[in-house]
């Protein structure tokens, strides 16, 4: 059923006309909005809205593809060869996608479209292509190998890549961090405990600890190796763990010491740890949506179950296979793999866009919100109960199902849309959501994506955490969504939570006037999120923080009227608000932020609206190759295909509503 739903989603999406991407970025003319007929604006809105209607599923929801870098399709190929479950047709389709993404400028693969060479992604892509049958002597493989070697070779890969190489017997196990199953036995007071890391870290680490403890070895049926990617023979390499900081040096010493003691772990302790890890994983397998509903955890779980002796046809193995297959996007000649699905997020953001125009038919929105209701997670035994055991549930997940891990951002957006609908049928759902959100506020007044006070920053210095994404601390964008909704909802019992949330947001404003965007790229997203919250909370539009944000947004508008911001800003904040191109989604965020701050009649907004209208495709939507958000800043990025669809429409509808430009 899930595969069928995914196929409908993908084919409905890819049958929409794909226009030439670079043709979208047109130079603006000297026309003003007043010279542009109202009918042009109305037609742009109607066209986009009608196409979005056509993409709504029969059951009422929306879900657009969610794309990541080539690490994901490469790992799918590597997983098939690890398990000796190779689908030759599928691996060749995945390989075709990977080849197409190779950057001819640097010869390797990037973390996002147009990005710089990434060592770990390139190693996995190279290995996957070689497994499929690409000769190392072909030009594209020679280019990739040269780039990998020029960047220090495979020994310089990140932890997750080295773990994979160890399981493929390409490097010794001493080249990877010590991740024993016994971590699940650590007490809460210990320096490391599962509750001290983010949900994505937990779901990846526990099955991985099983693989590491049992020294998993890939089947590798074609006996493919990549020794040519090392500058020093891997068994002779002595520098697998470059020291990052003094604290990292300390943790590295402790970790290496612990790894030497592994043979001394009593057999009964190892057996108990493996059993506990197995129980933890099985409890969270999550049916056909998979462990954590995220690809890396699902792959680790699938491999760990096999290593633990579960047969190929066991229901748990079957669930994992279906979950992984459900992430595939088959485009005919090529296939790629999503890191997860985004139905709740896509649905509520589309609803919020359409709700800006209350004079149009709201029945599609009603159908979507009705679909949303049974997906609310009310009584599931989520990991968040570790910190709030007595708090009644009320959240939504990001994916179709992920009951252990409701997401505060999705919950706030869903409750916002449900509350705006004004239906008595939704009152209890909104109340449950509001109470749950208020109960999930961190001690500094901010809100994180999944956890409370997940701020054990020292853990980012452990050898395993070279990606720097082990934690889920509060962020401005999630705090803005939660605080804005709670303020709009107006329950007196949440007044203090709103006050603390606003105080956190004021404290997080950058010197420039912008706010950092943790879950969207980047400062434009963060600034829009906070300005929207200020609007919902009725903060005076003349507040100095708002005026500084407005001036910053105006200062980074591009000459063609749009806005653009590179993902490189996560490496170099000095490039905030800068990019060589304008994008539809970042233009929409800037416009929504400015209009939230009362700037709907400014020339800046008029130019931005004109840009969106001029770059709209003939089918009513917008298309561009740029990645829209970080999964984890600096290490993993995403392209929400829906962002170029509903955010521009949201901005256009709001502009018409605020300026009184009604259909003629």
Tokens of 165: 């190489």
Tokens of 19: 């226009």
Total H helices, total E strands in the chain: 23, 5
Asked if 305 and 316 count as a contact pair (C-beta separation under 8 A), the reply is yes
What tokens does 650 get? 């949201």
> Tokens at residue 49, please?
């809205």
Strands 629-632 and 335-337 turn out to be unpaired
Q: Six-digit token pair at 338? A: 């999503």
Q: Which structure tokens are listed for 422?
A: 């004004």
> Are 385 and 391 spatial neighbours (Cβ–Cβ below 8 Å)?
yes
Residues 6+ apart with CB under 8 A from 419: 426, 430, 485, 488, 489
Decide: 403 and 344 in contact? Cβ < 8 Å.
no
H, E, C per residue of 213-248: HCCCCCCCCCCCCCHHHCCCCCCCCCCCCCCCCHHH
Residue where the block lists tokens 């170099």: 572
| Element at 337 (helix H, strand E) | strand 335-337
Which entry of 357, 383, 407, 409 is annotated as an active-site residue?
409
Can you list the alpha helix ranges (DSSP code H) found in 308-361? 315-325, 343-355
Tell me, what DSSP letter sits at residue 569? G
The pair phi, psi for residue 638, each rounded to 5°, is -130, 150
Q: Which two tokens stand for residue 584?
A: 């539809």
Q: Report yes or no: 101 and 109 within 8 Å, Cβ to Cβ.
A: yes
For residue 336, the cross-strand partners are: 329
Q: Could you tell me which residues come within 8 angstroms of residue 530 by beta carbon, excluding any fewer than 6 positions away?
A: 476, 477, 480, 505, 509, 515, 549
Strand partners, 629: 638
Please report how many Cα atoms fall inside a 13 Å half-sphere around the Cα of residue 86, on the Cβ side: 18
Q: Is-catalytic flag, 409?
A: yes
Tokens of 82: 């690890």
Residues 184, 188, 192, 198: what is their CA dihedral angle, to the nearest 10 degrees?
A: 80
Is residue 187 within 8 Å of 255, Cβ to Cβ?
no
What is the distance between the alpha carbons of residues 606 and 599, in angstroms, rounded to a whole number? 10
The number of residues in the chain equals 664
CA distances from 475 to 130, 409, 413, 592, 662 (A): 41, 10, 15, 20, 37
Give 619's contacts (C-beta < 8 A, 6+ positions apart). 16, 17, 19, 47, 51
- Beta-carbon contacts of 65 under 8 Å, excluding residues fewer than 6 positions away, are 9, 10, 13, 329, 338, 641
Bridge partner residues of 395 (DSSP)? 377
Q: What are the residue numbers of the active site?
A: 409
């Amino acid at each position: 059923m899930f595969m069928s739903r995914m196929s409908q989603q993908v084919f409905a999406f890819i049958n929409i006309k794909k226009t030439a991407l670079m043709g979208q970025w047109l130079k603006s003319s000297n026309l003003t909005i007043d010279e542009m007929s109202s009918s042009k604006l109305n037609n742009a809105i109607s066209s986009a809205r009608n196409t979005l209607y056509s993409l709504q599923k029969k059951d009422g929801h929306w879900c657009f593809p969610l794309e990541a870098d080539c690490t994901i399709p490469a790992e799918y190929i590597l997983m098939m060869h690890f398990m000796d479950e190779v689908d030759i047709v599928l691996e060749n389709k995945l390989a075709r996608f990977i080849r197409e993404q190779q950057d001819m400028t640097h010869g390797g693969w990037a973390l996002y479209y147009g990005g710089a060479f990434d060592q770990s992604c390139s190693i996995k892509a190279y290995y996957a292509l070689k497994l499929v049958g690409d000769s190392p002597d072909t030009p594209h493989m020679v280019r990739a190998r040269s780039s990998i070697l020029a960047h220090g070779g495979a020994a310089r890969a990140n932890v997750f890549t080295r773990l994979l190489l160890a399981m493929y017997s390409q490097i010794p196990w001493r080249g990877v961090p010590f991740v024993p199953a016994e971590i699940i036995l650590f007490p809460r007071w210990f320096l490391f405990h599962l509750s001290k890391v983010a949900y994505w870290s937990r779901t990846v680490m526990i099955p991985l600890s099983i693989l590491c403890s049992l020294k998993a070895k890939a089947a590798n049926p074609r006996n493919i190796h990549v020794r040519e990617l090392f500058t020093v023979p891997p068994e002779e390499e002595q520098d697998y763990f470059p020291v990052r900081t003094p604290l990292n040096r300390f943790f590295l010493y402790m970790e290496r010491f612990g790894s030497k003691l592994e043979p001394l772990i009593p057999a009964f302790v190892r057996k108990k740890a493996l059993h506990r890890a197995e129980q933890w994983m099985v409890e969270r397998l999550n049916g056909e949506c998979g462990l954590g509903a995220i690809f890396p955890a699902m792959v680790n779980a699938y491999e760990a179950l096999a290593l633990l002796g579960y047969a190929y046809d066991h229901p748990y193995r079957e669930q994992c296979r279906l979950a992984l297959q459900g992430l595939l996007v088959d485009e005919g000649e090529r296939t790629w793999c999503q890191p997860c699905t985004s139905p709740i997020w896509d649905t509520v953001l589309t609803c919020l866009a359409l709700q800006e125009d209350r004079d149009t038919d709201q029945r599609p929105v009603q159908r979507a919100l009705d679909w949303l209701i049974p997906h609310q997670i009310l009584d599931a035994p989520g990991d968040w109960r570790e910190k709030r055991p007595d708090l009644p549930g009320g959240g939504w997940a990001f994916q179709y199902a992920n009951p252990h891990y409701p997401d505060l951002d999705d919950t706030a957006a869903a409750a916002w849309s449900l509350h705006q609908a004004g239906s008595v049928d939704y009152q209890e759902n909104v109340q449950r959501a509001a109470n749950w959100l208020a109960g999930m506020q961190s001690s500094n007044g901010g809100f994180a994506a999944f956890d409370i006070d997940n701020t054990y920053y020292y853990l980012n210095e452990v050898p395993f955490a070279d990606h720097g994404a082990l934690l889920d601390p509060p962020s401005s964008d999630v705090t803005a969504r939660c605080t804005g909704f709670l303020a709009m909802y107006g329950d007196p019992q949440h007044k203090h939570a709103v006050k603390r949330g606003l105080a956190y947001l004021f404290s997080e404003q950058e010197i420039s006037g912008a706010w950092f965007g943790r879950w969207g790229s980047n400062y434009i997203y963060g600034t829009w999120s906070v300005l929207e919250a200020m609007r919902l909370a009725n903060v005076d539009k003349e507040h100095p923080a708002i005026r500084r944000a407005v001036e910053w947004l105006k200062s980074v508008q591009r000459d063609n009227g749009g806005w653009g911001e590179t993902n490189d800003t996560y490496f170099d904040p000095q490039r905030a608000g800068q990019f060589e191109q304008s994008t539809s989604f970042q233009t929409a965020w800037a416009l929504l932020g400015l209009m939230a701050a009362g700037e709907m009649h400014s020339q800046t907004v008029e130019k931005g609206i004109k840009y969106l209208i001029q770059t709209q495709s003939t089918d009513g939507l917008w298309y561009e190759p740029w990645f829209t958000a970080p999964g984890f800043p600096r290490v993993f990025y995403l392209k929400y295909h829906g962002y170029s669809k509903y955010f521009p429409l949201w901005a256009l509808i709001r502009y018409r509503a605020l300026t009184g430009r009604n259909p003629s």
